[in-house]
Amino acid sequence: MKILVLIKQVPDDVVKVSLSDEKTPDIKNIEKIVNAMDTYAMEMAVREMEANGGEVVVASIGDKDEIRPSLVQEIAVGANRAYIGNLDVSGADEAALSAELLSFIRKIEEQEGSAFDLILTGKESTDEISSQVGALLAEKLSVPFVSSAIGFTKTDAALIVKKETEEGYDVLETTLPAVLSVTKPEYDPRYPSLKNKMKARKAEIPVIELEKAENKVTLTGYDEPAKREAGVKIKEKEAQDAVQKAMAILKEARLV
């Protein structure tokens, strides 16, 4: 199978984002990493290739110099090659992004000389958390879509996908080509070896110029959520004393 993994570079989600003086998310000093669920998609694709052959191509849209390190990292993880879609995507909504991705994919396929059998994305990104792009892309490509994929296998005629549900998982059968959005499977993404990292650093990554698509949603501004005030803090040597004080407050508030 020839698999395309679409990744997004995001600010490290361990760091809390607040608004700058200009009332925009202050992310410029936060380290940029590959979105967590995209790294699961990548690991899933590489495992498939290791088990059954095929190819894995990784691609991302953004400023060509800014996003290169993320693509280099995924080549080190195991992608055969990568593509950069050079475009300023700041302020793009999901409709615009998916349209831009569609034209990006078509251009990659043109360069590759063949179409992809399977396209994987993370289920959601940690910055925008919209979980839309995979679904939008599948619709635009008019191909089957399964969200929350935690695994897949290809049979002679079909693709079998495990989709995480509230209580367990569904086993779904579909055809290729397809788009899957991936959530955390039972395994973690691998750490690439130093050797692979060094090799990946020298990789030539073609840059494809893209045109901006139109937004259907516009941002009127940012806010910060209303802050909750910290209340009473009890600090006692003995657990008994702390609990007595706490119980008094809880009873007073009729919460117990």
Partner 1 sequence: MKTLIYIEIENGNIQNGSLEIMSLAKTLSDPCAVVIGSDVDNASDAVSAYGIPVIEVPCDKVSDDAEVFILNQIIKDEKPEYVLFAGTLKGKDLAPRVAARNDGACITDVIKADTENGVFTRPAFGGTVLENLKFSADTLKVMTVRSGSFEKLTQGEKAEVTKKEYALPEDALKVILKDSVKEISEKVDLEGANVVIAGGRGMGSKEGFAMVEELASLLGGEVGATRAAVDEEWTTRIHQVGQSGKNIAPKLYIACGLSGAMQHVSGITSSGFIVAINKDEDAPIFDVADLGIVGRCEDILPVLIDEIKKLKGL
- Name residues contacting partner 1, limited to 148-187 (CB under 8 A): 148, 160-161, 165-175
Which 75-114 residues touch partner 1, going by CB under 8 A?
A: 93-95, 98
Q: Judge contact between 147 and 135, C-beta under 8 A.
A: yes
Q: Tokens 């130093």 identify what position?
A: 194
| Residue 131 interacts with partner 1 (CB under 8 A): yes or no | yes
Q: Judge contact between 52 and 1, C-beta under 8 A.
A: yes
Which 201-230 residues touch partner 1, going by CB under 8 A?
A: 215-225, 228, 230
Q: How far is the CB of 40 from partner 1 (least distance, A)?
A: 12
Taking CB under 8 A as the criterion, the residue among 6, 11, 73, 208 binding partner 1 is 11
Q: Which of 29, 28, 36, 40 is nearest to 9 (CA)?
A: 36
Nearer to partner 1, 99 or 205 (CB): 99
Q: Judge contact between 152 and 94, C-beta under 8 A.
A: no
Bridge-based pairing of strands 145-154 and 159-164 is antiparallel
Nearer to partner 1, 21 or 223 (CB): 223
Piece of 1-9, 69-77, 81-89, 138-146 that binds partner 1 (CB under 8 A): 138-146
Taking CB under 8 A as the criterion, the residue among 28, 195, 202, 233 binding partner 1 is 233
Which phi-psi region, left, alpha or beta, contains residue 85 (left: φ > 0; alpha: ψ -120 to 50)?
Answer: beta
- DSSP assignment of 67-91, as one string? HHHHHHHHHHHT-SEEEEEE---TT
| Residue 132 interacts with partner 1 (CB under 8 A): yes or no | yes
Taking CB under 8 A as the criterion, the residue among 7, 101, 147, 152 binding partner 1 is 147
